[in-house]
Structure 1
Amino acid sequence: MKLLPRTLSLYLLRHFLFWCLSVAFGVCAIIFAADMIQLLSDDLTQPGVGTFDLMGLALLRLPQTFQQVLPFVILIAGLGTYHQLTRTSELVVARAAGVSVWQFLAPPLLAALAIGIFRITMLDPVATTLQSKFDLLHDEWFGNGDGNLVATAGSGVWLREQGLDGTAIVHANHVSLANRSLGGIVLLTFDPDDRFHERVDAQFGRIENGRWQLSGVERVVAGHAVERMDKLSVPTRISYSEILDRFAQTSVISFWALPRHISLLESTGFSARPHRLLWHRLLAMPLLYMALLVIAASFALRFHRKGDAALLAGAGAFTGFLLYFLSDLVYALGINSSIPLQLAAWAPAGVTALLGITMLLHFEDG
């Protein structure tokens, strides 16, 4: 297959990028307006938080939300690009000059590939960082935070609990999902003035009914000797489900940080399946964007010839929503281990690509 002349390639590329930017701007405006409405509603009971503060908060969440709808931006931009070029007969002239559908599809496909790579390598780290900042500010301004923190490190699991009577810091070497317990526990408590109060070392522990149930305990209170006991019960506001939910959260972990986070989770006993699935799903994004563009081209070229623009819009919208629904369904099956992880991550992109290529082969090449 011959390559397109440079001028025609740049012309097609410019049209596609223009549609991408136009649709992206419109989508971002809708997302920002929806977030502002929600935040203004929350602000009704939060004096001292100004409108400009809420605008900044909405902007912090915007990149993370925009990433979720970026596939629709590619689909709509592809529909608009090829429908416009076909309506103005520019592609008809190009085809009469011997240019095949695969040739004038190539420049936008390369652009979609570049957008996919940009999304996972640059936009995703920025979005996750801003999302973390959004969560902190939202909790601080609207009082949804409880001062608790759950995190992993190379040495194990760390938990911090902030209460009226001071701060408690808990470290565990590993977690057993089978019996919902933690091993190798060190619990440090501090008074409200951040002065050391006591240290508790335990071989094992679990959270039941709002209390740490520790066994194999050595306890040291400031100014006293070491005390050994078989069991000890310590009140806590952290639940085991909260710990699991915190480690299952993937929205604040960037593409570059995922491999290390997966390794840390598995070394401390947590399941890293959601994070592995997210890793593969991100890798499949460039293929998905290219596949959506092929789908868009097949719809735009096919239905314009029948003179039915409404059918074009309806078919494109239906395809987008159907893809979104099926992708989430397959992703949920992957999370639940109902289907293999790699299949759940790559199937939506692969099936979409095969469907688009099949449609173009049928409509354009007989």
Structure 2
Amino acid sequence: MNVSFFASRTISWYMARVFVVRSAAVLAALVLVLMALDLLGESGDILAYKGNGDAQLWYYTSLRLPQLVQRFLPFSVLLGTLITLATMNQNSEIISMKAAGISAHQILAPLVAASLAIAGLSFWFNDHVVARATAVLTAWQNVDYGPIPKAHGVTSNVWVRAGEDLVHADRVVSRGGHVTLQGVSYYDRTGDRLIAIANAPRADYQGGAWVLQNVHRFDVAAGKMATIPSATIGQGVTPDRFTLANIDADGMSFRGLAEAISALRAAGRPTAGLETVLWHKFSGPLSAVLMPLLAGVAGFGLARSGVLFIRAVIGMALGFTYFVADNFALAMGNIGAYPPLLAAWSPFLLFLLIGEAVLIRTEE
């Protein structure tokens, strides 16, 4: 019996090539269909902004495509594995390999090695392409598909809680260590009651508080609007509360998110949800490595016995169950119910053991 990791160089290259080609074909088909559906849903909002046309639709497509590739790459690897192994089983190629003394693990080894390369490429793609596209698309959507502000150090649509009160800023501009709020709305609350709403075009941080200029204040109880030259709000609310309040973890690279988490931790802010996303930037791409193992059950057994379809369904069910468990753990980590490491890695390790147990139990 051949006890090497790979059965032979020829068989390994053949299986890896077929697997990669079919996974890429599935990914292209999925992304093409989903991009068309997504564009149909968003085109109305994009074209609703005056001056937008075909160029903006193509621009949206260029920003949305990387997100779809990132999201559906593991699904494509799962379906590519199922198609590859089921076809080889039906053509008696798997039976020929096993008759030659090749074990089930050796049959799956080229697929796992190719998936590891796909996972590495996926991590680079997510870190350098998807993160930037997500950040730009989010900023574009925040201005209703209008012109994105060009100023450096600008954050849009920030909410901060100041005791019982709420402060909203359309834009937070940070230049040279000085933070300015633009388009400020201040909601003065006592208990569950809204007392007043103050709107101002600008707020500056002075003396440990925020000073609003040219304030329009609406008294809820009296139902009257008043204009005052200035008002002071948010005593003790430091500028970092605004500059760090609107972190889009999906729109940041691994290194950028790690630095933001360090800054938040130094400021005494909770970071468990962001740490979960940080670790998931590793475990997410590695899910591609699991797919050959989970879908491997479809490649074995006699095709003529009538259970090939059932085996394919079992492999698909294992793969999709993993994605459900992964999303659930990620959601639990984001709300702080699970520790970050547990939320990011427990589904991967659990289904790695499940896939290995199924493979050993049924084929080895």
**TM-score bucket of the superposed structures, by smaller chain:** 0.7 to 0.9
| 1:170-249 mapped onto 2 (5 Å cutoff) | 188=180, 200-203=205-208, 232-233=232-233, 246-247=246-247, 249=248
Give the match for residue 321 of structure 1. 320
Give the match for residue 350 of structure 1. 349
- Mapped to 1, the partners of 2:181 and 2:249 lie a distance apart of 30
Displacement of 1:41 after TM fit?
A: 2.6
- Mapped to 1, the partners of 2:87 and 2:53 lie a distance apart of 44
- Mapped to 1, the partners of 2:211 and 2:287 lie a distance apart of 43
- Mapped to 2, the partners of 1:67 and 1:102 lie a distance apart of 28
Give the match for residue 252 of structure 1. 251
Aligned pair in 2 of structure 1 residues 111, 275: CA closer, same or farther (>3 Å)? same
Q: Over residues 137-171 of structure 1, what are the superposed CA-to-partner deviations in whole Å (9 max), with x where a residue is unaligned? A: 4445635989972699xxxxxx9956xxxx87579
Displacement of 1:59 after TM fit?
A: 2.2
Give the match for residue 178 of structure 1. none
The yes-or-no answer on 1:13 pairing with 2:16 is yes
Displacement of 1:359 after TM fit?
A: 0.5
Identity among equivalent positions (%) equals: 23
TM-score, normalising length: structure 1: 0.73
Give the match for residue 84 of structure 1. 87
Aligned pair in 2 of structure 1 residues 325, 130: CA closer, same or farther (>3 Å)? same
Please tell me whether the aligned partners of residues 161 and 169 of structure 1 are also in contact (alpha carbons under 8 angstroms).
no
The yes-or-no answer on 1:68 pairing with 2:71 is yes
Displacement of 1:45 after TM fit?
A: 2.9
Q: Over residues 3-62 of structure 1, what are the superposed CA-to-partner deviations in whole Å (9 max), with x where a residue is unaligned? A: 322111110111111111111101110221122101223245334322342022122111
Q: Over residues 177-209 of structure 1, what are the superposed CA-to-partner deviations in whole Å (9 max), with x where a residue is unaligned? A: xxxxxxxxx665899xxxxx99642225699xx
Q: Over residues 271-316 of structure 1, what are the superposed CA-to-partner deviations in whole Å (9 max), with x where a residue is unaligned? A: 2222211222222235422222101112332484642454344334
Q: Aligned AA for 1:42? A: D
- Mapped to 2, the partners of 1:302 and 1:203 lie a distance apart of 72
Give the match for residue 136 of structure 1. 139
TM-score, normalising length: structure 2: 0.73
- Mapped to 1, the partners of 2:332 and 2:182 lie a distance apart of 44
- Mapped to 1, the partners of 2:172 and 2:100 lie a distance apart of 75
The yes-or-no answer on 1:118 pairing with 2:87 is no
- Mapped to 1, the partners of 2:243 and 2:203 lie a distance apart of 23
| 1:33-44 mapped onto 2 (5 Å cutoff) | 33-43=36-46
Q: Which secondary structure state, in structure 2, belongs to the residue aligned with residue 299 of structure 1? A: helix
- Mapped to 1, the partners of 2:96 and 2:284 lie a distance apart of 33
What is the aligned-residue RMSD (CA, Å)? 3.9
Please tell me whether the aligned partners of residues 295 and 319 of structure 2 are also in contact (alpha carbons under 8 angstroms).
no
Q: Aligned AA for 1:293? A: P
Displacement of 1:243 after TM fit?
A: 7.3
Q: Which secondary structure state, in structure 2, belongs to the residue aligned with residue 246 of structure 1? A: coil
Aligned pair in 2 of structure 1 residues 305, 12: CA closer, same or farther (>3 Å)? same
Aligned pair in 2 of structure 1 residues 286, 324: CA closer, same or farther (>3 Å)? closer
Please tell me whether the aligned partners of residues 288 and 348 of structure 1 are also in contact (alpha carbons under 8 angstroms).
no
Q: Over residues 198-230 of structure 1, what are the superposed CA-to-partner deviations in whole Å (9 max), with x where a residue is unaligned? A: 9642225699xx99xxxxxxxxxxxxxxxxxxx
- Mapped to 1, the partners of 2:14 and 2:203 lie a distance apart of 71
The yes-or-no answer on 1:361 pairing with 2:360 is yes
Which segment drifts farther, 316-325 or 114-123?
316-325
- Mapped to 1, the partners of 2:29 and 2:332 lie a distance apart of 32
- Mapped to 2, the partners of 1:187 and 1:103 lie a distance apart of 59
Q: Aligned AA for 1:26? A: A
| 1:17-56 mapped onto 2 (5 Å cutoff) | 17-43=20-46, 45-56=48-59
Give the match for residue 274 of structure 2. 275
Give the match for residue 237 of structure 2. none
Aligned pair in 2 of structure 1 residues 242, 263: CA closer, same or farther (>3 Å)? closer
- Mapped to 2, the partners of 1:199 and 1:322 lie a distance apart of 51
Please tell me whether the aligned partners of residues 35 and 65 of structure 2 are also in contact (alpha carbons under 8 angstroms).
yes
Displacement of 1:136 after TM fit?
A: 3.4
- Mapped to 1, the partners of 2:117 and 2:181 lie a distance apart of 51
Q: Which secondary structure state, in structure 1, belongs to the residue aligned with residue 207 of structure 2? A: strand
Q: Over residues 81-109 of structure 1, what are the superposed CA-to-partner deviations in whole Å (9 max), with x where a residue is unaligned? A: 11111111111111111111111211110
Give the match for residue 195 of structure 2. none
Q: Which secondary structure state, in structure 1, belongs to the residue aligned with residue 68 of structure 2? A: helix
- Mapped to 2, the partners of 1:88 and 1:292 lie a distance apart of 22
Give the match for residue 156 of structure 1. none
Q: How many residues align?
A: 313
